[in-house]
Amino acid sequence: MNKLKSLLACLFLLTLSSVMSGQTGKPSTIPLNTRHIIDAWISNTEAHLVPVAEAMPEDKYSFTPTIGGFTNLRTFAEQLKHLAANNYSVSANILGNKPTPDQANEKGPDALRTKAEIVEYVKGSFAALHKAVATISQENEVEPLTNMSGTWQRARLGLAIDAIAHSFDHYGQLAEYLRMNGIVPPASR
């Protein structure tokens, strides 16, 4: 997970440095800033994860791997609720709000049980991220947040990058769950 976060941070910095130096590859009339780049990454992440959530049949939402000595794994549904709860928690923290208990513990609401409910929860979590990232400015992107610890968790920019990295960690797990059920992930078709 740390390697993925480091890779995403490097990719972000490379993208930002090429934009700042005017080497974007094609002319654009839209001035880019950190918020635009992060929002584009959130859109990309959403474009990968929502189709994965939609691809698994509802009767397989309770699937967990059983071969290979795996124990105490999240079901497919729990994976989705976990990543969505994290997205909501990150969004709340970026906005300076307190996450709800089911967001803070990254489990999501127990009441969400059907595929349709969980897919909507995932979609809503990305909408929340878009809304939160829209408030990031050059002035506040690395401004220390109160009641936060760690390195990247103390700043809005770090939280947004963490949400993307975290979501893609789970994308890999969810894609494997699909393959274990004979389903090719949508992005691989």
Instruction: State the residue for tokens 């094609």.
Output: 26
Predicted local confidence at residue 23, as pLDDT: 47
Give the Cα separation of 4 and 12 in Å (integer). Answer: 12
Quick: pLDDT tens for 123-150.
999 999 999 999 999 999 998 888 777 7
Confidence band of 18 (pLDDT split at 50, 70, 90): very low
Amino acid symbol at 119:
V
Query: How many Å is the Cα radius of gyration of the chain?
Result: 17
Predicted local confidence at residue 29, as pLDDT: 65
pLDDT of 16 > 50? The answer is no
Give the Cα separation of 50 and 160 in Å (integer). Answer: 18
Predicted local confidence at residue 90, as pLDDT: 96
Question: Hey, what's the torsion of the CAs at 173, 178, 184, 186, to 10 degrees?
Answer: -70
SS3 50: helix
Give the Cα separation of 38 and 123 in Å (integer). Answer: 17
Predicted local confidence at residue 148, as pLDDT: 76
**Contact in structure between 138 and 33 (CB atoms under 8 Å):** yes
Quick: pLDDT tens for 78-131.
999 999 999 999 999 999 999 999 999 999 999 999 999 999 999 999 999 999
Summarize the confidence of residues 163-180 as an average pLDDT: 96
pLDDT of 26 > 70? The answer is no
Domains annotated for the chain, with CATH where assigned, are: 32-188 (1.20.120.450)
Phi first, then psi: what are they for 76, rounded to 5°? -55, -45
pTM: 0.83
What tokens appear for 74 in the block? 């999240």
Give the Cα separation of 48 and 66 in Å (integer). Answer: 25
Beta strands in the chain (DSSP E): none
Predicted local confidence at residue 14, as pLDDT: 44
Question: Hey, what's the torsion of the CAs at 178, 90, 12, 119, to 10 degrees?
Answer: 30
What tokens appear for 44 in the block? 């990309």
Q: Specify the higher pLDDT residue, 30 or 159.
A: 159
Average pLDDT taken over every residue of the chain? 87
Q: Specify the higher pLDDT residue, 178 or 22.
A: 178
Question: Hey, what's the torsion of the CAs at 35, 151, 9, 16, to 10 degrees?
Answer: 40
